[in-house]
């Protein structure tokens, strides 16, 4: 939570990225508390390890500096912020109000060891698994095309001559 | 030790809210992206909490998928940011307003 | 009541003629148009004669139901026709005089470009008038009533390119409509209280009601409203203003519509509703009063008019007043008798005036006429017969009918009689004035140059370049002669109360009243009154002779000495101007301000325009949503999401 708030408060994107890493790490710890050890591991490896690194690389590549004051959107501040706060408060109030009816979760209630997860993944969720892998492939190709310099793509037809 | 489920859900909600607020307030595109990741994390937490609550492992499997999709999406998104930066020379989201009528 | 299957043909034949001439006439030859018009009108006349020949009082009245019309619950109105003694008289008058005027029009309108239109309109008028006369219920009569108003508009405004003619047509129609409004309200009252508009039903219901001698009641209301309608149609006070202006139409129109038939529709309607009037003494008094006042009033205006047709127009209004006096005192058959004789001599007067106008090349001002006795002998002779008839010189037709009315009026109240006699004097005076100015002395008109042609075309003329005034062709003189003959002998129909006995089955109560009055005062008084009216007519002739034949300078001196009064009379007592200020101007101003600016522009146009403006402005505002600004999109999404969450929470809480 602290990390999340810090993300909002910081003005330099690097600081925001670092606070996001803090958030991810703490979430991994939460998952462990809940007994989802495989998920926690994946969280650290994929999220904190790969995605955040990607963010840091991009920030440094683009030399992003401190945020400059610019003409914002009236709608965003006047409508969106109150809207989301109200929504969040409502949800929170509902949850807290119903907390008496929700059960308690004990630490380590459900062991999510890799074996059982793998069983689920490759039996019941096989199709989503395969589709997701195709999705990643497309994402890679798209990222390469989008991020490359325009001349780099135009050069290829000439190379074939 | 027993922790009430609602604590986890409230935390998830707070994370999500921070993500949305960041999306609305921040001006740097990259920071906005990071807020999106924050939102996704909040949702993940709530999935795992419910999986533990109902003793259903499919909740964790779904978290796995969400993470994969988030990875893909952040890769493509960052590539787009780079492309946009090349043309607009700015990371300020208010100046990327070619969608204007 | 016996059915007669030929009744419906009488109105329909002229309608067929009107349709053929109207649609095909433009490309037909004049001979063809004439043939069609005459054939259909003549067929109608022949049929009327056949019906008359076969008419037996025992099996009367005849009826014929043509088709169903309105069937609404217990209320029922059909296209039904009806022939009883009263309708028969009207039928013969309308078809006979109408046919003669058709013949006359051939000669009169031959040179006009709109010849086919004229003949078509004439036939159309005949159709409507015959529908009116042969109707079996008030609603079919109303069709004819409105229709003759329409035909009058078409025919009065026949030369519609002339502004005054178009306005006169409009005026005729509009003033008529005011009267029609009263008629319509009367019909509504009848429907509400009697549940039917059929003559038989209504009169049967009315005869069960007691006479309203105490005060005004339903029958008085109906009677007064019917009188409003009759005042509009028959040009009585206060709705007579359209008739003098209607002289803008061609003279055959004036003869047919404004002398013989349309204006008598009001008298016919009042006579037909005799059952209602007899039980509403107050309404009868009103009718008689209006008739008396109109007769006197119009006659006074007629003294000072210089246009030959206007004199005759006011004379018509005055004579119609006589007919209403008759109806007002309960002598309905006398009123119808005068209607018949009036059709003869007034129709003749108008046609002869048309002949005069035709002969002098379009001039209508009597001051520019004179000395036509030698150049137009036949016209002079027939017109003289008509003048004698109208002034009530025995043994011509007008004497019998006018005297009968005066006698019946005397039986009701000596005031009616006195004013009637004075009006007779004035009538005699202005008619002989007309005769002397037109036919006596020397010709005062402009020398007959072709230069007359331009303004002559505006009237109804044929730009004769040769000679001075001349006699009209025989196609025009023929009807004059026939009508003159009828004016001579037409009065003998009513000799010795034969006419009243003929019409007695129609006016059941009226017959009794007639018997009363004639036995009350005895023969002596009747002869005395007869002598009074004859001497009065002679006095008028004498005065006219003195003023216009012996000493022609005298009238101008008298006029000058009377000053303001004379001016008022010449300008028709400024009634038209009064109406303009009282009614026309406020109506037009109110219409412009409220209906045009207020409603048409303010509401209807504004609705359409403002709808467009509103659409544009709404989209103008909505445009701001698409700003291309990412954060505002996100803001909208967040807000929308909050709404959805709130709704779900609220649903969850309230269930």
Quote the CA–CA distance of C129 and C143 in Å, as a whole number. 9
Residues of chain B with C-beta less than 8 angstroms from the C-beta of A1: 11, 14-15, 18
Contact A3, A20 (CB under 8 A): yes
With beta carbons under 8 A apart, name residues in chain B contacting C635.
24
Across the interface, of B18, B30, B45, the residue whose CB is closest to A30 is B45
| Per-residue pLDDT band at C128 (split at 50, 70, 90) | very high
Query: Residue B98: pLDDT band by 50, 70, 90 thresholds?
Result: low
Which of B8, B19, B75 lies nearest to residue A143, judging by beta carbons? B75
Distance from CA of C629 to the nearest CA of B (A): 5
- Residue C599 pLDDT > 80: no
Which chain C positions have a beta carbon within 8 Å of A75's beta carbon? 629, 631-632, 635-636
Q: In C25-137, where does DSSP find H-type helix?
A: 30-53, 85-108, 115-134
The answer to whether C541 and C428 are in contact (CB under 8 A) is yes
Which residues in chain B touch residue C638, judged by CB atoms under 8 angstroms apart? 20, 23-24
- Cα separation, B38 vs B26, whole angstroms: 14
Per CB-CB distance under 8 Å, the chain B contacts of C631 are 23-24, 93-94
Count B/C contacts: CB-CB distance under 8 Å: 34
The residue-averaged pLDDT of C466-495 equals 77
Whether residue C388 contacts residue C341, with contact meaning beta carbons closer than 8 Å, is answered with no
pLDDT at C260: 73
Residue A37 located in a structural domain: yes
**pLDDT at residue C417 is higher than 80:** yes
Answer whether residue A24 is part of any domain. Answer: yes
The pLDDT assigned to C514 comes to: 47
Residue of B nearest to A15 (CA): B31
Over the stretch C157-193, which tens digit does the pLDDT of each residue have?
888 888 888 888 888 888 888 889 999 999 998 888 8
State the pLDDT at residue C141: 92
Contact across the interface for A79 and C639, Cβ inside 8 Å? yes
- pLDDT at position C558 is 75
CATH, domain range B5-88? 1.10.287.3510
Taking 60 as the threshold, does the pLDDT of residue A73 lie above it? no
CA distances from C262 to A85, C105, C618 (A): 87, 17, 61
Mean pLDDT of C290-300: 90
| Residues near C382 by beta carbon (within 8 Å), at least 6 away in sequence | C348, C352, C477, C480, C481, C483, C484
With bands split at pLDDT 50, 70 and 90, how would you rate the model's confidence at A134? very high
Residues C361-409: pLDDT tens digits?
777 887 778 778 878 888 888 888 888 888 888 878 888 888 888 888 8
Contacting A with CB below 8 Å, chain C residues are 627, 629, 631-632, 634-643, 645-646, 649, 652
What pLDDT is stored for residue C185 in this prediction?
92
At residue A110, does pLDDT exceed 70? no
What is the share, in percent, of chain C residues with pLDDT greater than 70?
A: 91
Model confidence band, residue C505 (pLDDT cutoffs 50, 70, 90): confident
Q: Is residue A126 included in any domain, yes or no? A: yes
Instruction: Give me the helices (H) in C256-331, please.
Output: 264-272, 274-278, 281-303, 308-328
Choose, out of C632, C636, C648, the residue to mutate when testing the contact with A (most A CBs < 10 Å).
C632
Q: With an 8 Å Cβ cutoff, are C634 and A80 in contact?
A: yes
Averaged pLDDT, A26-31: 86
Q: Which chains touch A (3 or more CB pairs under 8 A)?
A: B, C
Task: Supply the pLDDT for residue B101.
Answer: 41
CA count, 13 A, side-chain hemisphere, B4: 12
Confidence check: pLDDT of C293 > 70:
yes
Handedness of CA C397, C403, C408, C412 (dihedral sign): positive
Flag the least confident range among C54-63, C468-477, C512-521.
C512-521
Which residues in chain A have their CB less than 8 angstroms from residue C652's CB?
94
pTM over 0.80? The answer is: no
Would the pLDDT of C458 be above 60? no
Is residue A116 over pLDDT 80?
Answer: no
- Three-state DSSP class for residue A110: coil
Residue pair C631/A72 in contact (Cβ under 8 Å)? The answer is yes
Is the pLDDT confidence value at A65 over 70?
A: no
* Residue C508: per-residue pLDDT: 66
List residues bridging with C78 in a β-sheet.
C68
Q: Kindly identify which residue of chain B lies nearest to residue A42, measuring between CA atoms.
A: B64
Order of strands, sheet of C75-83, starting from the edge strand that comes earlier in the sequence: C2-3, C62-72, C75-83
Number of domains in chain A: 1
Task: Report if residue A21 sits inside a domain.
Answer: yes
What are phi and psi for residue B89, nearest 5 degrees? 60, 25
Round to whole Å and give the CA distance between C460 and C16.
Answer: 27
- Strand C2-3 and strand C62-72: the pairing is parallel
For chain B, the structural domain boundaries read: 5-88
In a domain, A84, yes or no: no
Q: At what angle do helices C30-53 and C9-24 cross, to 10 degrees?
A: 180
Residues listed for chain C: 655
pLDDT on residue B55: 76
Residues in C closer than 8 angstroms to A73, CB to CB, are: 627, 629, 631-632, 635
Determine, yes or no, domain membership for A83.
no
Residue B66, classed as helix, strand or coil, is: helix
Inform me whether the pLDDT recorded for C247 exceeds 70.
yes
Lowest mean pLDDT among A95-109, B56-70, B84-98, C124-138: A95-109
Is the alpha carbon torsion for C237, C242, C248, C250 positive or negative? negative
Look up residue C492 and give its DSSP letter: G
- Contact A20/B34 with Cβ under 8 angstroms? yes
Nearest Cβ partner for C635 among B24, B97, B98: B24
Say whether pLDDT at B93 is over 70.
no
A154 CA: distance to closest CA in chain B (Å): 15
Q: Do B37 and A91 touch (CB under 8 A)?
A: no
Mean pLDDT (whole number) for C205-217: 73
- Per-residue pLDDT at A98: 64
Which of C321, C646, C363, C198 has its CA nearest to residue A87?
A: C646
> For the residues A57-82, what does the mean pLDDT come to?
67
pLDDT at C466: 44
CATH code at A44? 1.20.120.1200
Q: Residue A60 sits in which domain range?
A: 2-65+110-160
Partners of A41 on chain B (C-beta within 8 Å) are none
First to last CA, chain C: 80
pLDDT value for A16: 81
pLDDT tops 80 at residue C463: no
Confidence of residue A109 (pLDDT cuts 50, 70, 90): low
Cβ burial of C583 (10 Å; 0-12, 13-18, 19+) is exposed
Average pLDDT of every residue of chain A: 75
pLDDT of residue C204: 84
Contact C238, C304 (CB under 8 A): no
Which long-range contacts link A3-12 to residues 24+ away (Cβ below 8 Å)?
A4/B14, A4/B15, A4/B18, A4/B19, A4/B38, A5/B18, A7/B18, A7/B22, A7/B31, A7/B34, A7/B35, A7/B38, A8/B18, A8/B21, A8/B22, A8/B25, A8/B26, A11/A66, A11/A67, A12/A64, A12/A65, A12/A66, A12/A67
Q: Is the pLDDT of residue C555 over 80?
A: no
| Residue A56 forms part of a structural domain | yes
Q: How far apart are CA C426 and CA C298, in angstroms?
A: 10
Inter-chain contacts counted by CB atoms under 8 A, chains A and B: 235
Higher pLDDT, C584 or A160: C584
| Axis-axis angle for helices B58-88, A52-62 (nearest 10) | 10
Cβ A120–B35 below 8 Å, yes or no? Answer: no
Q: How far is residue A131's CA from residue A45's CA, in Å, rounded to a whole number?
A: 21
Q: What average pLDDT does the segment C607-626 reach?
A: 84
Residue C465 pLDDT class (50, 70, 90 cuts): very low
Handedness of CA C147, C148, C151, C153 (dihedral sign): negative
Decide if C639 and A83 are in contact by the 8 Å CB cutoff. Answer: yes
């Amino acid at each position: 939570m602290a990390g999340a708030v810090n993300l909002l408060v910081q003005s330099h994107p690097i600081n925001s990225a670092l606070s996001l890493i803090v958030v991810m790490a703490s979430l991994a710890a939460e998952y462990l508390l809940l007994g989802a050890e495989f998920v926690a591991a994946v969280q650290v490896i994929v999220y904190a390890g790969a995605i955040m690194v990607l963010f840091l690389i991009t920030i440094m590549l683009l030399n992003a500096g401190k945020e400059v004051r610019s003409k914002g959107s009236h709608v965003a501040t006047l409508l969106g912020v109150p809207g989301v706060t109200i929504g969040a408060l409502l949800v929170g109030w509902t949850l807290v109000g119903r907390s008496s009816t929700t059960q308690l979760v004990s630490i380590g209630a459900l062991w999510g060891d890799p074996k059982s997860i793998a069983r689920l993944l490759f039996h019941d969720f096989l199709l989503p698994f395969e589709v997701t892998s195709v999705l990643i492939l497309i994402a890679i190709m798209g990222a390469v095309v989008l991020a490359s310099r325009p001349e780099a793509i135009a050069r290829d037809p000439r190379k074939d001559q | 030790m027993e922790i009430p489920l609602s604590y986890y859900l409230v935390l998830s909600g707070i994370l999500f809210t921070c993500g949305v607020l960041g999306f609305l307030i921040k001006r740097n595109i990259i920071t906005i992206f990071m807020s999106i990741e924050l939102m996704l994390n909040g949702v993940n937490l709530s999935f795992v909490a419910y999986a533990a609550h109902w003793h259903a492992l499919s909740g964790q499997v779904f978290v796995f998928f969400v993470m994969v999709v988030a990875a893909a999406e952040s890769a493509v998104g960052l590539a787009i940011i780079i492309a946009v930066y090349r043309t607009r020379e700015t990371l300020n989201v208010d100046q990327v307003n070619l969608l204007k009528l | 009541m016996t059915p007669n299957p030929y009744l419906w043909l009488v109105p329909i034949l002229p309608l067929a003629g009107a349709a053929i001439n109207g649609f095909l006439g433009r490309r037909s030859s004049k001979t063809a148009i004439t043939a069609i018009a005459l054939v259909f009108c003549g067929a109608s006349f022949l049929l009327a004669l056949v019906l008359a020949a076969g008419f037996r009082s025992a099996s009367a009245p005849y009826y014929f139901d043509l088709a169903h019309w309105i069937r609404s619950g217990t209320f029922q109105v059909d296209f039904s026709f009806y022939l009883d003694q009263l309708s028969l008289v009207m039928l013969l008058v309308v078809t006979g005089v109408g046919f003669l005027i058709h013949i006359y029009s051939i000669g009169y309108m031959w040179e006009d470009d709109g010849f086919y239109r004229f003949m078509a309109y004439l036939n159309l008028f005949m159709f409507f008038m015959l529908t009116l006369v042969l109707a079996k219920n008030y609603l079919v009569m109303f069709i004819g009533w409105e229709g003759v108003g329409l035909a009058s508009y078409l025919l009065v405004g026949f030369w519609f390119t002339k502004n005054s003619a178009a306005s006169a047509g409009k005026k005729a129609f509009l003033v008529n409509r005011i009267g029609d409004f009263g008629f319509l309200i009367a019909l509504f009252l009848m429907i509400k209280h009697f549940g039917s508009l059929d003559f038989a039903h209504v009169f049967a219901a009315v005869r069960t009601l007691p006479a309203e001698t105490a005060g005004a009641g339903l029958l008085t209301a109906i009677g007064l409203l019917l009188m409003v309608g009759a005042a509009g149609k028959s040009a009585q006070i206060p709705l007579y203003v359209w008739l003098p202006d209607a002289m803008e139409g061609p003279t055959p129109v004036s003869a047919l519509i404004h002398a013989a038939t349309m204006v008598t529709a009001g008298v016919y309607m009042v006579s037909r509703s005799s059952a209602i009037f007899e039980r509403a003494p107050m309404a009868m008094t009103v009718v008689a009063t209006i008739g008396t006042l109109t007769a006197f009033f119009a006659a006074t205006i007629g003294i000072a008019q210089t246009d030959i047709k206007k004199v005759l127009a006011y004379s018509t209004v005055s004579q119609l007043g006589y007919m209403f006096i008759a109806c007002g005192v309960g002598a309905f058959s006398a009123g119808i008798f005068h209607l018949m004789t009036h059709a003869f001599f007034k129709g003749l007067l108008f046609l002869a005036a048309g002949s005069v106008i035709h002969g002098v090349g379009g001039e209508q001002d009597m001051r520019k006429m004179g000395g036509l006795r030698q150049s137009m002998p036949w016209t002079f002779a027939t017109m003289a017969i008509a003048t004698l008839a109208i002034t009530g010189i025995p043994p011509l037709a007008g004497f019998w009918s006018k005297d009968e009315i005066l006698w019946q009026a005397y039986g009701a109240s000596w005031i009616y009689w006195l004013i009637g006699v004075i009006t007779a004097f004035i009538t005699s005076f202005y008619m002989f004035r007309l005769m002397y100015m037109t036919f006596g002395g020397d010709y005062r008109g402009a020398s007959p140059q072709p230069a007359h042609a331009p303004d002559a075309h505006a009237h109804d003329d044929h730009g004769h370049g040769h000679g001075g005034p001349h006699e009209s062709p025989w196609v025009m003189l023929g009807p004059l002669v026939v009508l003159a003959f009828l004016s001579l002998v037409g009065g003998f129909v009513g000799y010795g109360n034969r006419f009243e006995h003929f019409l007695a089955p129609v006016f059941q109560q009226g017959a009794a009243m007639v018997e009363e009055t004639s036995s009350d005062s005895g023969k002596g008084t009747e002869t005395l009154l007869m002598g009074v009216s004859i001497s009065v007519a002679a006095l008028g002739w004498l005065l006219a002779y003195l003023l216009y034949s012996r000493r022609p300078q005298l009238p101008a001196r008298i006029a000058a000495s009377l000053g303001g009064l004379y001016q008022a009379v010449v300008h028709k007592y400024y009634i038209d101007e009064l109406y303009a200020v009282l009614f026309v101007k406020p109506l037009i101003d109110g219409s412009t301000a409220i209906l045009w600016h207020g409603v048409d522009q303010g509401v209807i146009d504004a609705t359409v325009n403002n709808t467009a403006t509103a659409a544009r402005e709404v989209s103008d505002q909505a445009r701001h949503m698409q700003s291309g600004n990412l954060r505002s999109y996100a803001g909208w999404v967040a807000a929308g999401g909050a709404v959805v969450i709130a709704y779900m929470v609220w649903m969850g809480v309230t269930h």
